[in-house]
Amino acid sequence: MNSTTRLLRGLSLLLLMVPATASYGNVPEQQEQSERSRLIASARELITTARYCALITIDAKGRAQVRTMDPFPPDQNLVVWLGTNPQSRKVREIRRNPRVALYYFDAASQGYVTISGIARIVRDPKDKERHWKDEWKAFYPDREKGYVLIAVTPEKLEVVIEKKGIIGDPKTWTPPTVRFGSLRKN
């Protein structure tokens, strides 16, 4: 067998191995996507069960401000919508610094979800109509001027649900995390 024939056979063998290597190389990515999907689904479940959340903003002096909110369930992109008074502190704080966190806790599942993201104030009448709860009538007698929305777009999701085996790192307690945005990775 001459050197050209050996080279061609070697290249053929290499080409036969490439698809197997490529598909095998995707296993960790598939596992990563599966884990990401599991974390998001578990987070949605806990959020629905918890119903209420804490909205954390930062005031002008750099101190965290926390209040209980009655949010809408996250949409397909995990954006969370909340209603509030346009004259509230939270609106001023979000205008000054749109980085916020939402914290959901469920004692029964021994778990919590934290969504860190960017908030924006929304005054669009169509969005306000879509995101309205009739039980809020007493709080917002003038829905046109006395009611605005806060839309929180997630950048990071942290999930701990002991009853599902979703727990933090045993040494550092760092929770399982999903990152959003251009990275779209855990």
Q: How far apart are CA 98 and CA 120, in angstroms?
A: 7
- Which domains are seen in the chain, by residue range? 3-179 (2.30.110.10)
Apex CA 65: angle with CA 62 and CA 66, to 5°? 155
Q: How far apart are CA 158 and CA 160, in angstroms?
A: 7
pLDDT at 40 over 90: yes
- The pLDDT, as a whole number, for residue 186 is 38
When the pLDDT of each residue in the chain is averaged and rounded to a whole number, the result is 86
Cβ atoms < 10 Å from Cβ of 125: 9
CA distances (Å), origin 142, targets 24, 63, 85, 145, 146: 59, 31, 10, 6, 5
Q: pTM to 2 decimals? A: 0.81
pLDDT, one tens digit per residue, over 117-174 is: 999 999 999 999 999 999 999 999 999 999 999 999 999 999 999 999 999 999 999 9
